[in-house]
Amino acid sequence: MTIIRKPLNRRSILRAGALGGVALATPTIFTSRAWSAGYLNEPTGSTVTFGFNVPQSGPYADEGADELRAYQLAVKHLNGEGDGGMLNTFSSKALQGNGVNGKKVVFVTGDTQTKSDAARASAKRMIEKDGAIMITGGSSSGVAIAVQSLCQEAGVIFMAGLTHSNDTTGKDKRANGFRHFFNTEMTGAALAPVLKNVMGADRRAYHLTADYTWGWSQEESIKKYTGELGWETVAAVRTPLGAGDFSQYITPVLNSGADVLVLNHYGKDMVNSLTQAVQFGLRDKQVNGKNFEIVVPLYSELMAQGAGENVKGILGSSGWDWKLTDAGTQAFTKSFGQEYGFPPSQAAHTCYVQALLYADAAQRAGTFMPSELGKALEGFEFDGLGNGPTLYRAADHQCFKDVLVVKGKENPSSQYDLLEVVEVTPRAQVEYPAELLGGELGPYNNGV
C-alpha cells in the first residue's frame, strides 16, 4: 500500500513510477478550497462553479437529460455566448452576459440515479471536491428533499429543479433551498374548477399513487380540492416507484364503482400506467351513467410523447408550455430549439430559470455568500421568464406564478405539439398562506 519502501530497489522504483504515472495522467487535481474563505467554496479564481445534479439513469432519465440541456444553455447565456435567451426578456437587468460577479460560469455534473443515496453522494462530491458554489437539479421530490437538506447542512444554496411535492417548500423546507416550480397544492387549486366544469360535481374518484413524498402530497392535494367540489374518493392505492406493470392495480378499478381514475404518477410510471389504463378500456366505459374519465394531475411533454395516442383528451396541470405566447417563452424556445433542434420541456424551463435567478441574485447581492444571496432572492418580484409576473415568497422560498391547465390534444400537428392549454389559472387563485404547509426555514448556513 505504501508507495515507496526503503531500501530503494528496482521494485519500489518501478512501483512508484507506475503510481506516479497514473497520478499524472489523472486530470482531476484536488484543490482544497473548502476551509479558506468567508463562506464555503468561495470562488477565488476567475471562474465560479455550478453543480448540476440530475437523473441520468432511472425512471426520470428523460427529464434529467432535458434539464442538463437547459443548464448548459443557461451557462452559455450567462457567459455571453449564444443569443442570450431569456436574459433579454428578464425584468432584472443586472446580468450583463459576462459571467456572474465578473467570474466566468463553469459547471460540473452528477447523476442522481433518482436515488436519494446516489444523489447525496454526487452532490457531496461536487461540493467537497469540485468546489461547487450551488447545487441545482433533481427530478424527483424525494431526491430534491434529500439533497436540499444536504445543502443546508453543508452550507451551499440549493436551487430545486423539477420537484412538485408540497414538502420541498412545506414541511421539509430549508433556508438554503429555493424552488421555482409549482407544487401539488397549486395543481389542486388550478385543476379542481376545470374538473368541475368538464366532469361535474358528482364524481367518485380512484387514486393510483406513486409511493413516495410527491405521490402522497399530490394525492392529498387532489383529494382536498376535489372533496371541496363534492367528489368522493373511493380508494387510494399506493404503487411502487418504477413498477413497470400496473395491470394488477388497474383491474380493481373496474369493479370499485369509481368513475374517475386519478393517476398520481410521473415520468415513465405515468406513461406505463396511463397506457395500460387506456388499453384496459377504462375510457370506453360508462359507470354510474357517466363516461369514465382519467386525470393526470401533473403533465409534461415528455410523458405525452411517451404515452402517444393515449393522452388525447386527458386533463392535467403543467408549470409551463413552450407554446405560450409571451416574449420570455418565445425567446427561450427559440434559443433552445436552435441549440438542440426541438422545443424544451417544462423541466428544462424551470431549471433554466433557476440557474438565471441564482446568477441574477448573486449579481445583485454582489457575492455568492448564501445568506446574502438568499436575501436577494427573498421577496424578489420578476417578470419575463415565461410565467408572467412571479414572486419568490420570502416565507417559504417558493415561487408564485400562473399555473396552466392542459389537455392532451386531439389532433396534434407534430410530436412536440401534444398538449393544448385549456386555461391559464392566474397566480392569485393558486396562492395559499405559507403557514398552511408547516415546516421551518431555519437560519441560513454559509458553511463555515
Partner 1 sequence: MSARTSPARDLVYFVIFAAAVLTMPVWLAPIGAGYPDLLQKFAIYGLFATGFNLLFGLTGYLSFGHAAFLGVGSYTAVWSFKLLGMNPIPAVILAVVAAGIFALAIGFVSLRRSGIYFSILTLAFAQMSYNLAYSVLTPITNGETGLRVLRSDPRIFDAADGAEGALVSTLFGIEMNGYAGFYFCAVILIAGFFIAQRIFRSPFGIMLRAVKSNQNRMTYTGLNPRPYTLAAFVISGMYAGLAGSLLCITDPLAGAERMQWTASGEVVLMTILGGAGTLLGPLLGAGLIKYFENIFSAFNEQTLHSIFSFLPDFLETPVVGLMSLFVGEGWQLTLGVLFMIIVIFLPGGIMEGVSRLGRLFKGSDKPSAADKGRVEAAAE
31: Cβ–Cβ under 8 A, 6 or more apart, which residues?
Answer: 131
Task: State in angstroms the smallest separation of the CB of 160 from partner 1.
Answer: 15
Least distance from partner 1 to the Cβ atom of residue 111, Å:
6
Residue placing its CB nearer to partner 1 in the complex, 121 or 235:
121
User: 230 or 240: whose CB is closer to partner 1?
Assistant: 240
Nearer to partner 1, 152 or 345 (CB): 152
Nearer to partner 1, 110 or 344 (CB): 110
Rounded to the nearest whole angstrom, what is the least distance from the CB of residue 308 to partner 1 in the complex? 26
Dihedral over Cα of 258, 259, 263, 264: its sign:
negative
Grid look-up 374548477 returns 193
Three cell numbers written together for 83: 443569443
- In the Cβ-directed half-sphere of 104, how many Cα atoms lie within 13 Å? 7
- Whole-angstrom Cα distance, residue 141 to residue 150? 14
| Of residues 277, 279, 243, 248, the one with CA closest to residue 263 | 277
Q: Which residues bind partner 1 (CB under 8 A)?
A: 1-3, 10-11, 14, 22-23, 26-30, 56-57, 107-111, 115-117, 120-122, 124-125, 128-130, 142, 145-146, 149-150, 152-153, 211-213, 238, 240-241, 440, 445
CA distance 219 to 184: 8
3-state secondary structure 75-143: HHHHCCCCCCHHHHCCCCCCCCCCCECCEEEEEEEEECCCCHHHHHHHHHHHHHCCCCCEEEECCCHHH
Strands in 390-392's sheet, in edge-to-edge order, are 381-382, 390-392, 399-400
- DSSP-derived secondary structure for 161-229: -S---GGGTTTT--TTEEE-S--HHHHHHHHHHHHHHHH-S--EEEEEEESSHHHHHHHHHHHHHHHHH
Q: Between β-strands 381-382 and 390-392, what pairing exists: parallel, antiparallel or unpaired? A: antiparallel
Cell of 438: 408547516
Whole-number minimum distance, CB 46 to partner 1, in Å?
A: 16
In the bound complex, what is the minimum distance in angstroms from residue 412's beta carbon to partner 1?
A: 30
**Residue 130 Cβ vs partner 1, minimum distance, rounded to whole Å:** 8
Smallest distance, partner 1 to C-beta of residue 61, A: 9
Q: In whole angstroms, how close is the CB of 77 to partner 1 at the nearest point?
A: 17
> Are the CB atoms for 408 and 384 separated by under 8 Å?
no
Q: How far is the CB of 148 from partner 1 (least distance, A)?
A: 11
Give least dist CB 349 to partner 1, A: 22
Interaxial angle between packed helices 346-365 and 370-377, expressed in degrees from 0 to 180 and rounded to the nearest 10: 110
- Measured from the CB atom, the residue of 35 and 325 that comes closer to partner 1 is 35
Which is nearer to partner 1, 115 or 203 (by Cβ)? 115
Question: In terms of CB distance, is 149 or 256 closer to partner 1?
Answer: 149
How far is residue 5's CA from residue 11's CA, in Å, rounded to a whole number?
9
Q: What's the rounded Cα separation, in Å, for the pair 120 and 255?
A: 43
